[in-house]
Structure 1
Amino acid sequence: MKIVVTGTTGFVGKCLLPKLKDAGFEVLPISSKRLSEGDLSELNLATSRSSEKIYAIVHLGGRAHVIHEKDSDPAAAFRRANVDTTKILTEAAIRNEIPRFLYVSSIKALGESSNEKPLTAEDLPKPKDDYGRTKWEAEEFLKETSRSTSLKFTILRPPLIVGKGAKGNLDRLVSLVKTGIPLPFSGIRNRRSMVGVRNFCDAIVFTLKNPKTENGLFLVSDSSLSTPELFRFFSESLGIRSRLFYFPPSWMVFAGKLFGFRGIVDRLFGSLVLDASPLLSLGWNPTIPISEEIRALCSEPPQEKIS
């Protein structure tokens, strides 16, 4: 079966491609970056010249977190990359009678934290930044547009994705551990859901092949760790003695917010736990321990993300 896939050269995409091929899919890769710039040539070529009917579009590419922002209008850049490309692909799927659309969103479309109970797909979305808002807007467009057509959608919301080649905040944390500097995190009591990149790619293949996931929205995670546990995994994987010590978390939270590091403070000290049971109940079976993905992350240099 032929499928159109965006984001094939990114962190997740590089892991996903061989799994799709092993599952019997023929991949027609297109650039979501070009789509966001208004270049539809790859999409038109894929949909018009395929001798076999295309089974699905997998929209994986987009604009994620930017550590050193250079765009003069970040909100518009996020909207072009995440919302506009989804609109273009949804309309192409309907126009070409492609039956399935799988959209890789983010837990940030739902929110940034969980309280006493894990977040569920039924919770009211409360995105906090441009990335989360545009992911949620793209979800809403896909759901609303599909409602009056025969297009079947599946939306996946992963949390932090861990594995070989991961960049961004994960790579920065690994670099911090490599310095050997003692870190004041042993007193943090939180839980953060995450998913290994190989398990997440298996979830994408699983949903593509399972009709019970049609018109469904699923949170995808395979584990949850506290911040101290994550740093200890980093140290163990790097062969470095863990150098965590106790410092009152409330003092660090106050200082972090005082000096403008609220986002970092929320990720290090807050909890974000997901309920992935609906997808698990359908038969998705994550098999690779998160510790193995952390070892893979720590043993390899980061890859460039291109979408």
Structure 2
Amino acid sequence: MSIVVTGANGFVGGSLLDSLDKFSVKTIGRISVKGVPNHMQTTIAPDSDFGDFLAGVTCIIHCAARVHVMNDTTANPLEEFRRTNVDATKNLARQAAQAGVKRFIFISSIKVNGESTTNKAAFKPDDQPDPQDSYGQSKHEAEVALRQLAQETGLEVVIIRPPIVYGPGVKGNMRSLMKLVGKGVPLPLGGIKNARSLVAVDNLVSLIKVALTHPKAANQTFLVSDGVDLSTSDLIREIAKGVNKRISLLPIPVTILTNLLTFVGKGAIADRLFGSLQVDITKTKQLLDWKPTVSVQEGIKLMCQGHQSE
């Protein structure tokens, strides 16, 4: 079975690549991938021509994307996201269908569903999409385009919407949180009662591998998580265990913290720290007979071990 992976130098793509040793793997991207001799060095753009590179390929796993950018300073963020996440994706998928590729796995985002489930039911894959920013909107538009292409060509499209993905080598807010907890300073985050779904990169990779061949995955949308949701307070406690640090969490009322962050222009951070975002993975487990391969506790421990070995 021949597979093409895009975004193989990224966090998810790199972790996926390490687990595909039993397959014939090719990669596409601007930077060559260590250990992968069959690489097409090109930008995945709306006008890219992949020539014969897709010939004989069974499945494409499309991880490459313009990712969510905090404080985006581009003149038109939505158009920038559309160029990479919508137009370039459509171009790749259309050429895949023409080349006879059977299946196209698209790594989307839970942001297609929305930003929060505070005082709401957990997100489900068939909910009405409600993207709140340019990144989420572009992922939603890409999903719509891929479903249309599937109807027109017979290409099997599998859409996976992960929430926050974490694991060894993670960057961004999770890495910053590990560094902060590692300092051992008291934090005013002991009274948070929210619930957030996370997914260990090992669990996401295991689902992608199932979606490669499972007949019931075709033309379906799946949500994925570790299956157990954590409050921000509990997440910090698990990270403290993972980095072997004692942590003092002060139970400051959330309303006070929210008001302080809003006053200093950090209201979006308050939403992520104190709000809930839960996903329902019942469909994923039942339709694909899948379950997480590592617990959230194991996943956080592995992430912290990777961080400490860097």
Q: Is the 8 A contact 1:162 1:194 kept in 2?
A: yes
- Tell me the secondary structure at the aligned position of residue 242 of structure 1: coil
| Aligned: 1:274 with 2:279 | yes
| Aligned: 1:191 with 2:195 | yes
- Tell me the secondary structure at the aligned position of residue 279 of structure 2: coil
Length-normalised TM-score, structure 2:
0.90
- Tell me the secondary structure at the aligned position of residue 57 of structure 1: strand
Distance, in Å, in 1 between the alignment partners of 2:183 and 2:116 is 29
User: CA distance change for structure 1 residues 27 and 161 in 2, over 3 Å: closer, same or farther?
Assistant: same
| Aligned: 1:91 with 2:88 | no
* Total equivalences in the alignment: 297
Length-normalised TM-score, structure 1:
0.90
- Tell me the secondary structure at the aligned position of residue 58 of structure 1: strand
Distance, in Å, in 2 between the alignment partners of 1:63 and 1:302 is 28
| Aligned: 1:159 with 2:163 | yes
Q: What corresponds to 1:102 in structure 2? A: 105
| Aligned: 1:216 with 2:220 | yes
Across the aligned residues of Structure 1 and Structure 2, the Cα RMSD in angstroms comes to: 2.1
* Identical-residue share of aligned pairs (%): 39
Offset of 1:74 from its aligned partner? Answer: 3.0
Q: Which has the higher contact order (CA 8 A, sep 6+)?
A: 1
Name whichever of 90-99 and 208-217 sits farther off.
90-99
- Tell me the secondary structure at the aligned position of residue 152 of structure 2: coil
Unaligned runs of 5+ in 1: none
Offset of 1:277 from its aligned partner? Answer: 0.8
User: CA distance change for structure 1 residues 32 and 278 in 2, over 3 Å: closer, same or farther?
Assistant: farther
Offset of 1:36 from its aligned partner? Answer: 4.3
Distance, in Å, in 1 between the alignment partners of 2:58 and 2:44 is 23
> Which among 147, 153, 157 is matched to residue 149 of structure 1?
153
Q: Is the 8 A contact 2:61 2:105 kept in 1?
A: yes
Offset of 1:72 from its aligned partner? Answer: 4.6
Offset of 1:20 from its aligned partner? Answer: 2.1
Q: Is the 8 A contact 2:163 2:224 kept in 1?
A: yes
Q: Is the 8 A contact 2:47 2:88 kept in 1?
A: no
Unaligned runs of 5+ in 2: 32-41
> Which among 181, 185, 190 is matched to residue 181 of structure 1?
185
Post-superposition Cα deviations, 1:61-84, rounded to whole Å, max 9, x if no partner, equal 111123464645433322222112
Q: What corresponds to 2:35 in structure 1? A: none
1:33-112 maps to which residues of 2 (within 5 A)? 34-37=42-45, 40=48, 43-47=50-54, 50=55, 53-67=56-70, 69=72, 71-112=74-115
Q: Is the 8 A contact 2:46 2:87 kept in 1?
A: no
Q: What corresponds to 2:135 in structure 1? A: 131
| Aligned: 1:8 with 2:8 | yes
- Tell me the secondary structure at the aligned position of residue 54 of structure 1: coil
